[in-house]
A and B are shown apart, each in its own frame.
Chain A
Amino acid sequence: MLGGLALCRNIKQIRAVAVAGSLVLIGMSVYLLLEYLALPALTHEHPMHFYDSWVWFESLNIHLAVGVDGVSIAMILLTSIIVFAGSFASWSINQPKAFFLWLILLSTGVYGFFISVDLFTMFMFYEVALIPMYLLIGVWGSGNKNYSAMKLTLMLMGGSAFLMLGLIGIYYNGPVVDGAHTWDITQIVNNGGVEKGWQYFLFPITFVGFGVLGAMFPFHTWSPDGHASAPTAVSMLHAGVLMKLGGYGCFRVAMYLMPEAAQELSWIFLILTGISVVYGAFSACVQTDLKYINAYSSVSHCGLVLFAVLMLNQTAMTGAVMQMLSHGLMTALFFALIGMIYGRTHTRDIREMGGMMKIMPYLAVCYVIAGFASLGLPGLSGFVAEMTIFVGSFQQGMSEFMAGAGSLKLVFTIVACCSIVITAVYILRVVGKLLLGPVQDKHHLELTDATWWERLSTVTLIISVAAIGCFPNFFADLIRETFSGEIFKAVL
């Protein structure tokens, strides 16, 4: 199972290695999924399957502990698919050897993060995943790349500085197992959790630390610049997977380990994420650069993930993970398509383009499909995820309102619901301007449609989007388990 990490790192300067490697990864993820489904349900004592732990730094009780539950498996699956599609999308990149090396280092960090159960190794993999971004954007990016790469790296590392303090704090204020403090998440939870007084200090800094990567409202500004400057595959991987690290960390570490503080302080973050949802959507409406539109739409959708997680309701939280999957796939699809269009027209400004439906029908149709997924058309993944989130949030908001516990959740659910309408506005605006309408530049008439590797990349993603849309129950059942009140104590 750790084989996910053992991806062929001996780079030969051929794409075949990257593609074969990512295929192997998909194969392994699916195998992992099948194995996992055969196992009995998770229990309070054993919240992770395939749990394994090796001592690393004995004196500090640091282990290399791994284990997965339904959510991590879903995330691993998502990563594999996007890495696969990403290697096809960067078929003709400069200096492929170095590029794929960094890309693989990045995905190593991501896989490591999703399977880690030990806070130290988790944090280490988290940072391993962040730093290749600097070089990937700086060297292979476009536009104002120096600025964006630096901004992105510094903001994310700033988040991880808070995180480091939070994690060491959790370590020292967690329970003592066998005469020593422990970094192991499952052990911390099963032995009484973090000391209550400290939770009110540690929960916010940990949540903010991960929230920066999840593009939470005041800390989201790295995201549009970063995505706009990054090369295609990196945008895909970053929006598709890396931003999920933030959301995943928020509930796996901050909320899972500190349930009391999560219940009492969630309102602060609920307001912030509520703002990201709506603000991101409105910002996307006025952008003219395709990548900026998508980046802001990512802010909005990722805000929704955190928003749903903070509802502390099993249905909403399941929806949050569904949204992670759905958003990951469809944003990757978006960025792949934008990269392909940009590679042909050399502009991303929607005012300078038009009538793409005639010129490159294949890409245009894909774009429409991605757009529909994003605005929540039934049958595609976006609908399933958002539906689950809003149903769960509404339930929670309503029951709290009825119990006289304030109407905050209810009000913010209604506010967040508005974002669906705004999403439709900006998606349809782009579709109208870019794909339909008159051709703005007659040079564009000579452009060609997608090549076979581009088709392969997009088809993979579209199939996955449709799969979630058509078989939501399968994924929901996989995920729900983690958020049952028995295992996840923060759930109300």
Chain B
Amino acid sequence: MDYSQFLAMKQEIGLLVVFLLVFLYDLFAPRYAVAGSDKKAVKGISTITVVLFALYTVYGFFCTVGDAQLVFGGMYSTTPVVATIKNILNVGVLIVLIQSMQWNASEPQIMRRAEFYELMLITLFGMYLMISARHFLLFVIGLEAASLPLAAMVAFDKNKYESHEAAVKYILTALFSSAIFMLGLSFVYGLTGTLYFDKIAEASVEGSGMLIVAMAFVMAGIGFKLSLVPFHLWTADVYQGAPTSVTSYLSVISKGATAFAFMVVMVQVFGQFYSAAWEWMLYGLIILTITVGNLFAIRQRNMKRFLAFSSVSQAGYIMLGVIGANDMSLAAMMFYILVYIFSNLAAFGVIQSIENKTGLVGMDSYRGLSKTNPRLAFAMMLAMFSLAGIPPFAGFFSKFFIFTGALNVGTTAMYVLVLIALINTIVSLYYYLLVVKAMYISDEECEIATFKSKCSERLALVITVGGIILLGIVSVVYNSLLVLTENPV
């Protein structure tokens, strides 16, 4: 075996190095018996993780140059586009890490100081494999590596009943969806005799009804992770029960990575011969996802549940990039996910700093927030505007581009789909404005007293708000993404 093949996996190796350093530091760093003095050690670990990961993120951008490579007998592929996708995820993970520093230093977490980071890095590694896989075996390994540690993360609040419940729900649905996914794979293998993406595509030229069934299973399996309707039922409970850092990780990073992987599978495996079949299936899923997610979000009073349903409907918009299946919509989808990472993390950042301070997560507690904590309220408002797609914030541009990408197809069906999606943006605007209304318009006394948020939380908020304002207006970001995707994958 040619070991130089490993050199193609630059980003994976980098991530492993970061993981090992954090792990070793955790092993050998002093551990004190007295509870109070552990705080210092936790802070040290958090800082080291963040700094290492920040360095690694920067390093990741150097990996985007270079040719497309297909190694390990065609199981693993990396291209500039794939590397960029990983970088987008890195940026999101970095923000999540910064946001979780404060929570990780809180009392119940101290004993397990670095576990959270380690689990997170492992899941990220799994997602990398998912995106890069060109063979279903590697894909499944990635999928599992990305799912199982997440269940542990969801259960992280060990003193909270909801956290356990959420973890059980998550692990059961994850296993169930994996099972369905593998059932689909076994059909595929039975019909084509291979699990390589390209070979499946070649072998399925003639096609059969069975293969469409298999494809539906595969789609359903991934749909669970993306929380597309009707596979979304776990989302709200898990988002609510999990610690907020984990929720934000689940809602942006996990979702973003799966969306990319989903697109690779659909386009590369089933793209050529079954595009008609899967596009219609996805068509229905998108309409359901956007509509149901929006309608359920309206009634939510808990901010985390609220964002759970909002993220369900956002997944529908992301899928518009998949169904478009052209360069423009791929770039638009990457851009959409990037913007979505920033907007959603800004919202979660505000929720988290308020939760850390007061433990309140109800939307009603946010009434009058603009008077007691104007900066947090402002960040939240920008996040809501960006999620709703209002200019001049980044969300407007990403929505506009994803619609433009979808309409590039030019069929009447696509115009109808985009129209439905657009009408849904109005519904979503309504519930996003409910939050703004609670914060700015309500006259009531605010339950949340004025407080000063911690340095790390503020840093994360500054980054996300900066991203929301700049990402759209600075056209370089989108342009370079589009230039990347125009080169053949």
Interface residues of A (CB under 8 A from B): 56-60, 62, 120, 124-125, 127-128, 131, 134-135, 138-139, 145-146, 149-150, 153-154, 157-158, 161-162, 164-165, 168-169, 171-172, 201
Contact = CB atoms under 8 A, between A and B. Distances in A.
Given A165-B415, A165-B422, 16 more contacts: A56-B475, A59-B479, A62-B475, A120-B400, A125-B391, A128-B391, A131-B385, A134-B433, A135-B436, A138-B437, A139-B441, A153-B429, A157-B425, A157-B426, A164-B403, A168-B400
B433 A150 contact: yes
Contact of A154 (B410, B430, B437, B482): B430
20 contacts: A56-B475, A57-B475, A59-B479, A60-B328, A125-B391, A128-B392, A138-B440, A139-B441, A146-B437, A149-B441, A150-B437, A153-B433, A154-B430, A157-B425, A161-B419, A165-B415, A168-B403, A168-B404, A171-B404, A172-B407
Contacts of B478: 57, 59
A13 to B, nearest CB: 14
Contacts of A158: 423, 426
Main secondary structure of the interface of A (DSSP, over half): helix
Contacts of B433: 134, 150, 153
Nearest to A159: B426
A286 B419 CA distance: 38
Interface in B440-489: 440-441, 475, 478-479, 482-483
B401 interface: yes
Given A158-B423, A164-B400, A124 B475 contact: no
Nearest to A205: B419
A169 B407 contact: yes
Interface string B327-338: 010010000000
Contacts of A164: 400, 403, 422
A138 B404 CA distance: 33
B418 interface: yes
B390 interface: yes
B25 interface: no
Interface residues of B, number: 33
B396 interface: yes
Contacts of A150: 430, 433, 437
Contacts of B429: 153-154, 157
Contact of B410 (A146, A162, A172): A172
B204 interface: no
A127 B391 contact: yes
Nearest to B423: A161
Contacts of B422: 161-162, 164-165
Contacts of B302: none
Contacts of B430: 150, 154
A57 B396 contact: no
B382 to A, nearest CB: 12
Interface of B: 328, 331, 385, 390-392, 396, 400-401, 403-404, 407-408, 410, 415, 418-419, 422-423, 425-426, 429-430, 433, 436-437, 440-441, 475, 478-479, 482-483
Contacts of B483: 59
A135 B400 CA distance: 24
A127 B396 contact: yes
Contacts of B391: 124-125, 127-128
B390 A131 contact: yes
Contacts of B392: 124, 128
B16 to A, nearest CB: 35
Contacts of B328: 60
10 tightest CB-CB pairs across the interface, nearest first? A161-B422, A59-B482, A138-B441, A124-B391, A57-B475, A158-B426, A127-B391, A168-B407, A131-B390, A59-B479
Contact of B441 (A57, A131, A146, A165): A146
Most chain B CB neighbours (cut-off 10 Å) among A56, A60, A120:
A60
B407 A135 contact: no
Contacts of B425: 157, 161
B396 A124 contact: yes
Nearest to B374: A98
A274 to B, nearest CB: 28
A134 B415 CA distance: 29
A169 B429 CA distance: 23
A174 to B, nearest CB: 13
A169 B409 CA distance: 11
Most chain A CB neighbours (cut-off 10 Å) among B331, B415, B482:
B415
Given A59-B482, A128-B391, A134-B436, A165 B418 contact: yes
B426 A161 contact: yes
A390 B385 CA distance: 43
A24 B354 CA distance: 43
A201 B412 CA distance: 11
Contact of B404 (A60, A135, A154, A157): A60
Nearest to B429: A157
Contacts of A162: 419, 422
A57 B429 CA distance: 26
Nearest to B482: A59
A182 to B, nearest CB: 13
B479 A154 contact: no
A150 B415 CA distance: 27
A172 B407 CA distance: 8
A127 B395 CA distance: 13
Nearest to B408: A172
Most chain B CB neighbours (cut-off 10 Å) among A56, A62, A165:
A165
A410 B3 CA distance: 85
